Structure 1
């Protein structure tokens, strides 16, 4: 009976693995809004237990949905951005980021204005990822038919005309060898009705994202404001300004009122700056800019500029004419004069506060929405509070430390922090491009040098342009020097593969490195390292892996070992689970290191193929432009499957010798499957 059950299970498994999965069914429609304006509607019905991802899911996790509107130039213009229905926020403990997902259904809309009256259709290319126990890299091309467009320039509203179409799910089957592909196709049309509930605009989606992060922005900004208080441009102003209000206001009550109004004026000025930034760029634009390669590089340059100022290379100052105008206004009596006194403080202290304000606005840009306003409120509140509190309790001023060289030490320390933060933005750009210019080892080395130099400075062994001669260091400076030194030493083991959980999310991930398991490994130094074949790389747990099929097969022939073919993805959650929880087990790891040749093919690799290697699928018309496209197409055409992870054992000639398996979290089951494939190879 057990044998019958096992045979049935194997038969079902083979049948399931032979299917091309597509848990997302689409229905498209076109709504005519006016003579030449249309709304393109894409409705997705998602199978139970599956989910797909929002366009706005944060970097570092699964891949977002991406919409590309073909041949727009000269034919039509996009009106606003693609909007989507409400998503759900879920924390991914593998990638350690929040992800925005859709379950059951999702709706995407895009308004377009047609500029070519002869245009008959609009094509939209959609790329998305769907996940359950396996992750699937999917894409579709939708064709939206347009009714005849009148040449009259009238833009009169018309009744909504809906042209419904049903997407074609193209299932590719295969007869293939390793050198030539023959593709046939089978069209499977299905119409899915999707109700339209809880549809939100892009702005509403962004507002939801803002709410989740506004507190963190506020706290970060408040701490930034407190740091600005301890700079030589602001700190000396506290006793001077409070004394002025308490002694020249006629009465203590009037002095307290003036100081409170002064503090409120500071908050109003900086909040207005946040409003100005949001108004100029827009709430949506800030978030979009934060994920752009170009603007991450610009943010990097800006922060390097700010850091140089803090370190003493130059001072950032506003025009003297502006300062003189505001200073004259501040001499007036009454609340108007007090407001201009607050503005004068903001202008005079700009050389110290400017870099901090700029950094806060850059960080707020990564959150989008009203984050710049909230950030400026937190920053200004931290600066305004001392003026208010010392006006209420003037005796507290006696406890303030005297101004001195320690203020410049604070300023320089902020410069080192700005410098370290700058490289995070450069790292973001590098990760998006997958350029591997700033891999984990390089990033950590930069941070070790920055924080190590900061420690040397705090110990008084290094002086900068605005420093006073150091005859001794204070106890507070000593403790800060020790703390920075400890952090620097903590970073060093990261070069040898330590996870560095305290700074998780700042450096690139372990897999994004020259040698994922550290500089000190005997086999971790590159292609010339002992035991690392030509074209091979170190994969998870220092397993030797190939990322090109032909190169891996050639090596397998050379050493006479079977092949473990691994279809995977950089943003595949369950691929990482398999690697971390199954491949890491000693009994499995020993097999992967010693008994098979691992070929890992990444279906979401966005690097472009050489022009000579690009091709178009003869049946589907899909353009194969990237390395990921190539391996995804190879998996579909050879195995009629598009899910990841997907494993199969091949002989050293590249022929299948085992049934394929997908996500298999049971260690014993996966080990047994591997051993059966190896046993078949030996036979």
Structure 2
């Protein structure tokens, strides 16, 4: 199970609504040169009305401060930071959202970071801005990349403030559009072709070289983009110029089908507020290649273009097989888990004592029995509604970016934070300290419920329950719903789990109101409630290590190899066993006079589980703990030396080009295995389905397996990193192995779930329909056999 802590829901759920829809802060970056080696990187933020951007320095427990990050390699080799970034004057006031004094900016903000160059050849610096912005009702958390182009002056003071690019767009069989774009440095201008005053600036001219052979003809005049007309002191007249960017377009009709290129000459002058450069002339040669021209307008170089094209495998044969629609995993299972979690939460000291008190309030404090029963039912419904509402923000995230939930689940920093949070909650369950949401929240809700009364008052009573019981319900909910925020589970499973949890909490208040005599059968509150908390603490601690394992797997640190992970679980299991037998105690435990039947029974189950784990420490065939597939790290991630780092010791390739080469050499079909290091169902497929004898032999002898890990955070070599052009024209940075394979999967198969399996030959022709998680071994075997038969035919 993937662990995505639902704890964060309580803190950020209402703050994250529409976070990906609105863009209240726009960033830009400029560079001020101080000396030959020192520069100021100036970040400028333009902030929408009613929104705040927060300072770099904030108290803990409030908003997230603005931060700036730079590539470690660049900081080591290219430049160093001088001091901390300074910031413009901020406002310090009481913030309604976070209920504390915070420093923030309205309308605009400027941050300045001084740097010193180590490498004199550095031409640009890339920085990532991490920031939070809030208005009075919601918050967004984003990051943005800003690129600073260093305005380095050569020793001979030669300026180069204008960068030109060109492209070609094919309009039809004979007509083309030539586009010439000038990108200008800050404060520099080039001038419109319509400036005709003899004493004014030199206009920009683009002329097409002699066309003696009449290979093509111009259609219309040269068009230019939007200009600015202002009075300039240097020329003592109104002049028309371009600011930031100038775009010129010319349509042509090709008369000679054999024509391959167009040559044009550009003549222009660049000026800033103090000086003008000598007029410059140069030539453009445009190849009439429509595909390349369309991509060049996105400002990516030829290498990036080539690598982007290489990700398209050109898969064919879709017409032969019904396209597999990977169905969303059933929500019933996660609903049941949530329901069980809610039942467990009822047995904690935070919730259990409130059942008779609340039911008595409704049944005895109402005008009549029917009214009390109706209020209790409404109270239960509101509890359910509150927990369902907490899942809604993730539906926005899921719909806006299908990859974001998988990114969250495999993010290294978040997984480490989740590990620490769950461990922190575990020791709270042990009784070493108490964690609660601010008492003022509960008091405020309770006060509101008393004041408004009626149905609205009942809603605030339910909200009060959710707040005051958080120290017990938060960790349970976080553990049980950890697998919900994945790309293949998605937000619907989170809603299902929340619904189950809320329903379990709500049912007792309704049922005991309907049958008040049942209250007499409830056991009295006592030391057993604390024992339940302690047991849950052990379970929380065990679950916490799954988070740390996720981070370890995707970064390949080697800290929690499979046997180490299982060993930690064995130690935790032994600790729980000793506690159940009364051999160890915790701060709030009552004296244990004798062992109850339930305590002994649970101790036997725990002991049996520990014994089951022990073979997992060995290097034998019994190390495959099939009942726990997906929880421990995969079998190849072991302290023992393995013949293969592929699942079950099979031969596999981690690069698609290598796999294709092997398939050609061995004349075998290919199985593309889109998987993930932190993918629970991937491990279940490998350890429960692939391990079946017939399937194992088929994969070993008849197929070339290409396992592509979409969550691998290992960075690609620098020469293999590139910018990928999406279908909507936007660019995506391909920096890690996971970026590359996730993009390849989405591009070619319009799917981003894992596991995901594709059978093809070396020519990328489909051999069967694609498939996903298939726990039925017979069904999966048949799918493989059909693919093999189609390959032979």
Greater RCO (CA < 8 Å, at least 6 residues apart): 1
- Higher-helix-fraction structure: 1
Name the larger-Rg structure: 2
TM-score after normalising by structure 1: 0.50
